[in-house]
Chains A and B, each alone.
Chain A
Amino acid sequence: MTTKNWIVPYIELGTEAEAFRKDYLKAFEQVLVSGHYILGPELSNFEKEFADFCQSPNALGVATGTDALYLALKALNLKEENEVITAPNSFIASASSIALAGAKPAFVDIREDGNMDPERLESAINAHTKVIMPVHLTGRPARMPEILEIANKYNLFVLEDAAQAIGARLNDKRVGSWGDAACFSLHPLKNLKAIGDGGMITTKHVDLYNKLKIARNHGLINREQCDFWSYNSRLDELQASLLRIQIRQLEAHTEARRELALRYNQLLKPYVVTPDEGPGEYCVYQTYVILAEKRDILQQHLIDNGVQALVHYATPIHLQPAAKYLGYTTADFPKTMKHVNHIMSLPIYPSMTHQQQDTVVELIHDFYKN
């Protein structure tokens, strides 16, 4: 993650971490001398704060965002033939967690905005379908009212993959409070980030919450009684202590990100398809993704001129070697394929200056002018 040679790096973790460094180290020191490093007061306080933030009654800390998805799916006791429907343009963990939980990943194509298309959803549902897993990709909320209506009709569980979307809202309701449960990642490139890995699960069902609380800690009811064989997936006290510091700043950081994103939207509109907000949407822009003609050449142009532009993700999940056995082809999801060939993530981070942003815009302007 070298940032040295870029005029506009993709992200500035160092500057952000530096700003918090004193607070982090003070929090670490408190954890250190407490001698309590796992499943202690920092985590339970963070869980309460996170639940409140997400407008959900329950939140649970786990080791990674992938574990969050995996544990939530595992708790549903899916069978081999059961299908979980998700979007093909997400990070691989959305699908690998389904496969690893013992079920079959199924995909549905996306809308213009990059999220699961509710209008195509019903045709993907069959007798084996148990779960719908919409992804709030890039920090844009998926069309939850329509998805929930279909889920209710077919009695399906809705698990939100909110890995990229902490704080995003649709009609003033936050992600993580729509579905039966939701999973979040606290990876360093997320808006709320651990120094390392971390994940969260929110759920409206107290019985599921209780089960997951045991599942993340070896299936132990207490030190001496093991009710079901399970895993170790816990969020450390160290990480919880620094996340508590960050969550207090999250609204302000999200606003800074949104200000930049909305400014990008205005300035870039003449050249590319910008990620405008749809009706009722409050996007948190974990990534700022445009759709660009001649994408590969543009990306190279930006990189050559010191702007670290990336593609999330160049190969959709259904075409990964790991997904070969599912039998999908390049003809399956036309909207996804169109996206894959045009998407590009531009630098965005709370400490980005307008001057840096103008550099990016000017380069794009120059590129299309010529």
Chain B
Amino acid sequence: MKVPYNYLPMQFSQYEGIFDEWKELISSTEFTLGPYVENFEKKFGEFIGCKHVIGTNTGTDALILALKAVGVGPGDDVISVPITFYATVGAIIAVGARPVFVDIDDRYQMDESLIAKAITSKTKAILPVHWGGASPNMQAIMEIAQKHGLKVVEDACMAPGGSVYNKHAGTLGNISAWSMHPLKPLNVMGDGGMVSTDDDELADWMRMYRNHGMVDRDHNSIWGVNMRLQPLQAVVAEHILKTVNETVEIRNKNAQILDNGLSSLFPAVKVPPRPKGYKETYSLYMARFERRDELKKYLIENGIEAKIHYPVPLHLQKAAKDLGYKPGDFPMSETYGQEIITLPAHQFIDIDLLEYTISAIKKFYTNCLGFVDIPKMN
């Protein structure tokens, strides 16, 4: 049996709608910004309940644009987490600021109880990450930010379709950055991203900066860059947006099945807590596993495409050597790096594949750890 991680060929097997619109796009020659991009921006704004959405070329661009817009620059510190994709920190460095990490909690999200201690006079913003498609405690983070006069940029790259206490995930901070990389719940056929905000002034500035800082064709008032969402991809995004809610529903059901199946293996397997009030997108279905590397090898051998996101926390990457961190600084993050596995739980995984995955994990621990009473695999 094969339990594939990559679902893109299945997802894009029905593409007539996209093709029809691409044909129109090619005839219209609207290849730079224009109506296809604007249409998607509007629809995504309605989807998340946010006033302004501005399409960018990548999720990384979105983070850079958001940080610049809230005024983060050289000499500033930005508080984030060491368990995230490289781009979160790459963006902080790109605007000339310094990343300051706080550890994660048992849900792999920014531990809000550690933020206050990390704040100094240099702190300008907090950059919480909706890691894996779960959300950190945004209410608590917003309270801390308000108390200390800090801006909040949310890394909502994995969050389309998620919610925090009935608000769409990624709508509480000053600006949110989103990614539409192929392996996100809202994806395109290449790179794409956007920023969202309710603030008119921030939105105006970001629209200008994204397009060379141009006020109009002949004048530019700031040095800007080119971070435009491609119309070809905006067409794809608009089509996929219609499927996001259903995708997230299926992923939630799949996650529930995996949670139930794996909970009995505690403490060898630690499924993260799932508190009420948060709807996860399960962009990554993750849990912590003892003897992780052996288990991962076993799963791969049995056709289950397990992944690790990621084994080395960012504070221990070579790129972070100038930040002055050392092993032991963020114990939860480091344990996470040693124990985490991502299992395929996407919308094309059915109940048979989930049960196969669960039984393979049970079999592994039966053999390794002497568990009994476990059904044999076929």
Residues of A within 8 A of B (CB): 1, 3, 13-14, 17-18, 21, 24-25, 28-29, 31-35, 37-38, 63-67, 70, 92-93, 95-96, 99-100, 187-188, 193-197, 218-220, 223-234, 236-239, 311, 313-315, 320-322
Which 4 pairs of residues, A with B, have the shortest CB-CB distance? A236-B190, A196-B230, A232-B60, A13-B29
Residue among B58, B190, B228, B232 having the largest count of chain A Cβ atoms under 10 Å: B190
Report the minimal beta-carbon distance from B337 to chain A, rounded to whole angstroms: 10
Question: At the interface with chain A, which of B110-118, B310-318, B356-364?
Answer: B310-318
Chain A, residue nearest B215 (CB)? A321
Q: With A and B bound together, what is the CA distance between A219 and B91 in angstroms?
A: 12
Question: At the interface with chain A, which of B145-153, B218-226, B280-288, B325-333?
Answer: B218-226
Q: With a CB–CB cut-off of 8 A, which chain A residues contact B23?
A: 21, 25
Q: With a CB–CB cut-off of 8 A, which chain B residues contact A35?
A: 6, 8-9, 12
Q: With a CB–CB cut-off of 8 A, which chain A residues contact B61?
A: 232
Q: With A and B bound together, what is the CA distance between A194 and B92 in angstroms?
A: 30
Are A224 and B311 CB-contacts (below 8 A) given A33-B9, A92-B212?
Answer: yes
Q: With a CB–CB cut-off of 8 A, which chain A residues contact B308?
A: 224
Q: With A and B bound together, what is the CA distance between A321 and B218 in angstroms?
A: 11
A37→B182 contact, CB < 8 A: yes
Are A226 and B317 CB-contacts (below 8 A) given A32-B189, A237-B190?
Answer: yes
A1→B30 contact, CB < 8 A: yes
Q: With A and B bound together, what is the CA distance between A1 and B12 in angstroms?
A: 31
B86→A220 contact, CB < 8 A: yes
B226→A65 contact, CB < 8 A: yes
A321 CB contact (under 8 Å) in B26, B221, B226, B228:
B221
Q: With a CB–CB cut-off of 8 A, which chain B residues contact A63?
A: 57-58, 191
B12→A33 contact, CB < 8 A: yes
Q: With a CB–CB cut-off of 8 A, which chain B residues contact A315?
A: 218-219
Q: B215-256: which residues lie under 8 A (CB-CB) from chain A?
A: 218-226, 228, 230-233
B89 interface residue, CB < 8 Å from A?
Answer: yes
Q: With A and B bound together, what is the CA distance between A21 and B24 in angstroms?
A: 10
Q: With a CB–CB cut-off of 8 A, which chain A residues contact B22?
A: 25, 28
B6→A17 contact, CB < 8 A: no
Are A66 and B212 CB-contacts (below 8 A) given A17-B26, A195-B31, A227-B318?
Answer: yes
Q: With a CB–CB cut-off of 8 A, which chain A residues contact B39?
A: none
Q: With A and B bound together, what is the CA distance between A237 and B236 in angstroms?
A: 14
Q: With a CB–CB cut-off of 8 A, which chain B residues contact A218?
A: 60, 85-87, 90
Q: With a CB–CB cut-off of 8 A, which chain B residues contact A237?
A: 189-190
Report the minimal beta-carbon distance from A124 to chain B, rounded to whole angstroms: 20
A37→B189 contact, CB < 8 A: yes
B60→A231 contact, CB < 8 A: yes
User: Could you jot down 11 A-B contacts, CB within 8 Å?
Assistant: A17-B27, A18-B26, A24-B26, A29-B15, A34-B9, A188-B31, A195-B25, A197-B32, A226-B314, A226-B318, A238-B232
Q: With a CB–CB cut-off of 8 A, which chain B residues contact A228?
A: 318-319
B223→A99 contact, CB < 8 A: yes
A100→B190 contact, CB < 8 A: no
A231→B90 contact, CB < 8 A: yes
Q: With A and B bound together, what is the CA distance between A187 and B32 in angstroms?
A: 8
Q: B20-46: which residues lie under 8 A (CB-CB) from chain A?
A: 22-23, 25-32, 34
Residue among B6, B57, B226 having the largest count of chain A Cβ atoms under 10 Å: B226
Q: With A and B bound together, what is the CA distance between A70 and B29 in angstroms?
A: 27
Q: With A and B bound together, what is the CA distance between A320 and B219 in angstroms?
A: 7
Q: With A and B bound together, what is the CA distance between A100 and B32 in angstroms?
A: 22
Are A196 and B8 CB-contacts (below 8 A) given A25-B23, A225-B318, A321-B219?
Answer: no
A92→B230 contact, CB < 8 A: no
Residue among B6, B85, B86, B182 having the largest count of chain A Cβ atoms under 10 Å: B86
Q: With a CB–CB cut-off of 8 A, which chain A residues contact B182?
A: 37-38
Q: With A and B bound together, what is the CA distance between A34 and B11 in angstroms?
A: 12
11 new A-B contacts, CB < 8 A, other than A197-B226, A224-B308, A233-B57, are A17-B26, A18-B27, A63-B58, A92-B213, A196-B232, A226-B318, A229-B90, A234-B191, A238-B233, A313-B218, A322-B221
Report the minimal beta-carbon distance from B328 to chain A, rounded to whole angstroms: 20
Q: With A and B bound together, what is the CA distance between A18 and B9 in angstroms?
A: 27
Q: With A and B bound together, what is the CA distance between A236 and B212 in angstroms?
A: 21
A31→B189 contact, CB < 8 A: yes
